[in-house]
A and B are shown apart, each in its own frame.
Chain A
């Protein structure tokens, strides 16, 4: 009874107050709104693509190759004569999917391994820490190049899997140090002394307090993953057509860039806005959660 009281009332209320306060900041609202719109686009591409009457990204007319913007085709035509606007809209889905999927996968691995390493210590900690060191030994892009090079079918899922393989260690290291800091605090000691199981101590006492800095970094990671995906796709080892992604559009735009800058411009704008929103959101959250850095 007492435990239930402690768990729900006091901390929950102050926690909710904090989030409401954070959500009121303009530096959080603006990127959140932008990301919300992008997420809607990613979920309902057909609706947004159809706004100007030519919503099918695969309806192409070679005679219109690299023509500029005109009514009905606000972003013009690409090399194959397809509508750039519809393609950019449909591209939102795979770019955001890769960013989110990669981050969620690495976050899952990082939370599990980081928590075990941070709370258990001993040989489990040593093994996990060495494993983290090994994967941090890869420069991100080069590691992804080596592995993607031998992946025969590169879909949103397989590319995310490979990117996650090289992005979990950063988060895992963060989870571990954050968890370790909290494991040493007195209320955790108290919970342990009460005889609560490891699982309960971790899920109720440690993780809720340890995850804030990790979530911040993970948010920013979504942005860098989206940029990496487009870079890898440009190199020719990311997503492949018939997939539709910003990276593929930018890669195919490069050869005709001097004649038709709009091919590079519109996917770049979407990509930059997405990445920027994610970075700014993560950064504002960091500032809000850590008032000491607020100088």
Chain B
């Protein structure tokens, strides 16, 4: 286990430096002269340029600038937005909403996805199976914002069943619709993984043994097959986090949930470049750390992964 942890953490370190360097190089080093951009159309004195360049350390070599930026990240400094508020503090405040949204979406994906996959496997090659396949694929073919605004119009405005926007109604009422919209996109993969896994498991020896011992079909499927089949789907769900975070950007924007995604949505809309980069970087780092944690948890739970 120690070897697994060591390897995974080493990988995280390499990926961390790589990802932050790519972001830095793409965003801060490539496009034009930031001081000129700051000045806009107005003429600017050479001495002012020199002072500003020194103040922002723009004359240092790229690598030195990068490490200064990295030092900022480690101390929670993700830059400031246009009104001078630190991005890090705003992220901290918005974090719980996004976490709740992602976990709710995850829960829906697990319950509905595993359920659909199980039903499709048990009713394999019937019209039920095909309907599940077609609807879940259809759902992935429509962009998340189209589904989002349509769901908002139907459930919120026309029928008035669920809140149109905002988080005033609290969990779960305010989160049902946005979480369901995000979850819709994982359903196709989760249900299909579950389907093929259940089909594989139904043909296993232990199922025959259990049946031979006189256990009811309901018990064999409900207890033995279900538990063993869920592993691949749950593994996928762990890697799906990156998608959930991306989906949160659009969905929190549409449903006006005050989470990190909404911060990012607003920053993109109002062209606040530095804020966009700060928030995205924070989200990407969260994604990196979480995926390592999930991997380790997974290795701890399933001995087969440890010994690969």
Contact = CB atoms under 8 A, between A and B. Distances in A.
Interface string B143-159: 11110011001000100
B280 A142 contact: yes
Given A139-B246, A146-B27, A271 B268 contact: no
Given A130-B18, A139-B283, A145-B264, A271 B245 contact: no
Nearest to B16: A137
A158 B241 CA distance: 27
Interface string B114-156: 0000000000100000000000011011111110011001000
B269 A276 contact: no
A114 B193 CA distance: 26
Contacts of A254: 145, 149
Contacts of B249: 141-142, 145, 235
Q: Chain B interface mostly helix, strand, loop or mixed?
A: helix
A250 B143 contact: yes
A142 B149 contact: no
B153 A258 contact: yes
B141 A276 contact: yes
A264 B273 contact: no
Interface stretch (A85-93, A116-124, A208-216, A226-234): A226-234
Contacts of B137: 276, 279-280, 283
B48 to A, nearest CB: 24
Contacts of A139: 241-243, 245-246, 283-284, 287
B18 A133 contact: yes
Contacts of B18: 130-131, 133-134, 137
A150 B31 contact: yes
Contacts of B149: 254, 257, 264
Nearest to A166: B22
A248 to B, nearest CB: 12
A13 interface: no
Contact of A250 (B27, B146, B243, B281): B146
Contacts of B146: 250, 264, 268
Interface in A226-250: 227, 230-231, 234-237, 247, 250
Contacts of B19: 134, 137-138
Nearest to B142: A272
Contacts, number: 138
Given A134-B19, A139-B242, A139-B245, A235 B250 contact: yes
B153 A227 contact: no
A193 interface: no
B145 A231 contact: yes
Nearest to A278: B141
A198 interface: no
A237 B268 CA distance: 7
A152 interface: yes
30 contacts: A133-B14, A133-B18, A141-B243, A141-B247, A142-B280, A146-B23, A146-B280, A150-B27, A223-B141, A227-B141, A227-B143, A230-B143, A231-B144, A234-B145, A235-B253, A236-B269, A247-B143, A250-B145, A250-B146, A254-B149, A264-B149, A268-B142, A271-B141, A271-B142, A272-B138, A275-B141, A276-B141, A280-B137, A283-B137, A293-B196
Given A141-B243, A283-B137, A295-B124, 6 more contacts: A137-B18, A138-B242, A139-B287, A147-B27, A227-B141, A264-B150
Interface of B: 11, 14-16, 18-19, 22-23, 26-27, 30-31, 124, 137-138, 140-146, 149-150, 153, 157, 196, 199, 241-243, 245-247, 249-250, 253, 264-265, 268-269, 273, 276-277, 280-281, 283-284, 287-288
